[in-house]
């Protein structure tokens, strides 16, 4: 039996950091939603007990550093599974971009192996396992739209937003999440995202209020280190995006609009300034 899984990217509609914890992580409050840009995973059973990663992208590790490998290894050990698996990853989500690509591959691996190895795990149990691989993995297990708290692993599902288009632009740099959190100075943060207002906006399915509630405190670090990220934000706004924000720790920025024709105009405009531009639909319902 071969299992095919879709591993979608996420964007942060809000990302607030409350304080730095004694364990080195930051206590966060963030609203994330799934978008229609996804890696494809094929999970093929092996009799030799090995975990083998095959990937189309040369810049993604094909060894034990791959988050999909880590997820499979964790499950093998935790449930004393003697069977192996080949995980073929067709990489479509930009890497080290703030879109949770590696986390989503790990989540898809956990869900796929739950089927392949007949583990009978619930969504909650898979999310708890996922948190051992990375803070964003539990959200990717649930998918949809959710509020994430703690270090990101506590998931409270939310109603999905009304449909909209997203234009993503990724400058040609990779940003380390650890580096961004390390350099965050909460004293420098003057504007916080309106998390509670975002939750209300989602409950009321009010696009204009969603746009007004967006915010990401990690922009204070990434925009300072990489002026090109700020430049792309300005371009997205200039070409007509209603809401513009950096996702996660960056460097990908995105613009939202409900009109397909406007999304196309923003996409075409951005293409002149940036090689990596995507136009996708929201998928967080
Ligand atoms: C930026 C976001 O992607 C937003 O969704 C997440 O907060 C980061 O999630 P992630 O990449 O899954 O993060 P992890 O792999 O768990 O952690 C990477 C590094 O980021 C820092 N980190 C991460 C999450 C968090 N709440 N506080 C942190 O300080 C830690 O230094 C950690 O060593
Ligand atoms: N399956 C994978 N796909 C992509 N990157 C992976 C994977 N496994 C491990 N990595 C490594 O993880 C690092 C971060 O990649 P990823 O694309 O997950 O970042 P990200 O989108 O910024 O994540 P997040 O938004 O969760 O911080 C990369 O440098 C890459 O080498």
C-beta 151 within 6 A of ligand 1: yes
Cβ atoms of residues 147 and 199 within 8 Å: yes
The residue whose two tokens read 């300072």 is 224
**CA distance linking residue 130 with residue 205, whole number of Å:** 30
Phi/psi zone of residue 100: left (φ > 0), alpha (ψ -120 to 50 degrees), beta?
left
Question: Which structural domains are found in the chain, ordered by start?
Answer: 3-157 (3.30.230.10), 165-281 (3.30.70.890)
Please write the tens of the pLDDT for every residue from 132-151: 999 999 999 999 999 999 99
Asked about 136 being catalytic, the answer comes back as yes
Q: 144 labelled as ligand-binding?
A: no
Q: Is the CB of 16 under 6 A from ligand 2?
A: no
Catalytic site includes residue 47: no
CA atoms of 145 and 90, how far apart (whole Å): 24
> How far is Cα 142 from Cα 157, in angstroms, rounded to an integer?
8
Q: Name the DSSP letter for residue 73.
A: H
The pLDDT of residue 247: 98
Q: Which residues neighbour 46 within 8 Å (Cβ) at sequence distance 6 or greater?
A: 52, 83, 84, 85, 86
Q: Is the pLDDT of residue 212 over 90?
A: yes
Non-local (6+) Cβ contacts of 102 within 8 A are 60, 66, 67, 68, 95, 134
Q: Comparing C-alpha atoms, which of 237, 231, 274 is closest to residue 256?
A: 237
pTM comes to 0.97
Check whether 56 has a pLDDT greater than 90.
no
Displacement of CA 132 from its chain's centroid (Å): 17
C-alpha 198/C-alpha 204 separation (Å) is 10
Q: Is the CB of 222 under 6 A from ligand 1?
A: no
Q: Does 282 carry a binding-site annotation?
A: no
Q: Tell me if residue 49 falls in helix, strand or coil.
A: coil
Check pLDDT > 90 for residue 174: no
* Annotated binding residue 157: no
**Calpha distance 259→193 (Å, rounded):** 24
As to burial, measured by CB atoms within 10 angstroms (0-12 exposed, 13-18 middle, 19+ buried), residue 200 is middle
Place of tokens 């996660």: 248
Q: How confident is the model at residue 34 (pLDDT cuts 50, 70, 90)?
A: very high
Q: Comparing C-alpha atoms, which of 175, 19, 1 is closest to residue 86?
A: 1
Contact 45, 116 (CB under 8 A): yes
Question: Using one digit for the tens of pLDDT, what is the confidence trace for 60-78?
Answer: 999 999 999 999 999 999 9
pLDDT tens, residue by residue, 183-210:
999 998 999 999 999 999 999 999 999 9
- What is the mean predicted confidence (pLDDT) over 79-83? 98
Q: What is the ipTM of this complex?
A: 0.96
d(CA 168, CA 232): 10
């Amino acid at each position: 039996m071969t299992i095919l899984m879709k591993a979608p990217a996420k964007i942060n509609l809000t990302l607030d950091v409350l304080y730095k914890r004694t364990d080195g992580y930051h206590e966060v409050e963030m609203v994330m939603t799934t978008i229609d840009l996804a890696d494809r995973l094929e999970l093929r059973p092996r009799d030799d007990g090995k975990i083998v990663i095959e990937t189309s992208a040369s810049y993604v590790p094909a060894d034990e550093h791959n988050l999909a490998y880590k997820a499979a290894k964790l499950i093998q050990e935790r449930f004393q599974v003697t069977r192996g698996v080949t995980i073929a990853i067709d990489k479509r989500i930009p890497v080290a971009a703030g879109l949770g690509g590696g986390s989503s591959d790990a989540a898809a691996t956990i869900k796929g192996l739950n089927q392949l190895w007949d583990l009978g795990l619930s969504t909650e149990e898979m999310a708890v396992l996922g948190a051992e691989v990375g803070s964003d993995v539990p959200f990717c297990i649930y998918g949809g739209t959710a509020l994430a708290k703690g270090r990101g692993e506590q998931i409270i599902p939310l109603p999905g937003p009304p449909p909209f288009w997203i234009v993503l632009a990724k400058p040609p740099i990779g940003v380390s999440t650890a580096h961004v959190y390390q350099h965050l100075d909460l004293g420098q943060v003057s504007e916080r995202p309106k998390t509670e207002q975002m939750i209300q906006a989602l409950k009321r399915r009010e696009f204009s209020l969603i746009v007004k509630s967006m915010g990401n405190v990690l922009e204070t670090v990434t925009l300072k280190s990489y002026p090109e990220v700020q430049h792309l934000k300005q371009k997205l706004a200039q070409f007509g995006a209603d809401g513009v924000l950096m996702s996660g720790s960056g460097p990908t920025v995105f613009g939202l609009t409900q009109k397909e024709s406007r999304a196309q105009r923003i996409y075409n405009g951005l293409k002149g300034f940036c090689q990596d531009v995507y136009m996708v639909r929201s998928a967080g319902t």
